[in-house]
């Protein structure tokens, strides 16, 4: 493995580990907040209170699905002298233009 590839691999793995560490911290904070601060008992698992917990986690999980393609896209373009990924991802043939990269990435 040459030096440039090794540096790329180390930086990329570091970014992924940091990303998953931030996710773990977020879920821990949200769980502690809802379990001990907001409801102070296991009321979290009642239907009325579970809906608000589901609302927050649902949108955070949506963020998780959106983030990796953009992180990889910007990281690859930053470290390279030329663009690995086409920069006109807004013009992709997807229904949702704002999430065009996401839709084409996962299809």
The residue ranking higher by pLDDT, 92 or 50, is 50
> Whole-model pTM?
0.34
Predicted local distance difference test score (pLDDT) of residue 64: 61
What stretches of the chain show up as alpha helix (H) in DSSP?
3-32, 47-79, 100-106
Dihedral of the alpha carbons of 97, 104, 90, 8, in degrees to the nearest 10: 140
Range of the domain at 46: 3-106
| Whether pLDDT at 65 is above 50 | yes
Domain tally, the chain: 1
* Interatomic CA distance for residues 63 and 37, integer angstroms: 24
Predicted local distance difference test score (pLDDT) of residue 26: 76
| Whether pLDDT at 81 is above 60 | no
Task: Find the mean pLDDT for residues 9-36.
Answer: 74
Reported as a single tens digit per residue, the pLDDT across 37-53 is 655 554 444 545 555 66
């Amino acid at each position: 493995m040459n030096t440039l590839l090794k540096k790329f691999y180390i930086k990329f793995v570091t970014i992924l580990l940091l990303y998953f560490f931030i996710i773990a911290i977020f879920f821990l904070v949200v769980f502690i907040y809802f379990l001990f601060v907001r409801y102070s008992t296991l009321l979290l698992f009642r239907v009325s209170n579970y809906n608000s917990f589901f609302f927050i986690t649902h949108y955070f999980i949506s963020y998780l699905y959106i983030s990796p393609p953009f992180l990889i896209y910007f990281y690859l373009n930053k470290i390279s002298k030329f663009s690995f990924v086409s920069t006109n991802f807004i013009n992709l043939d997807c229904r949702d233009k704002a999430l065009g990269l996401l839709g084409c990435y996962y299809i």
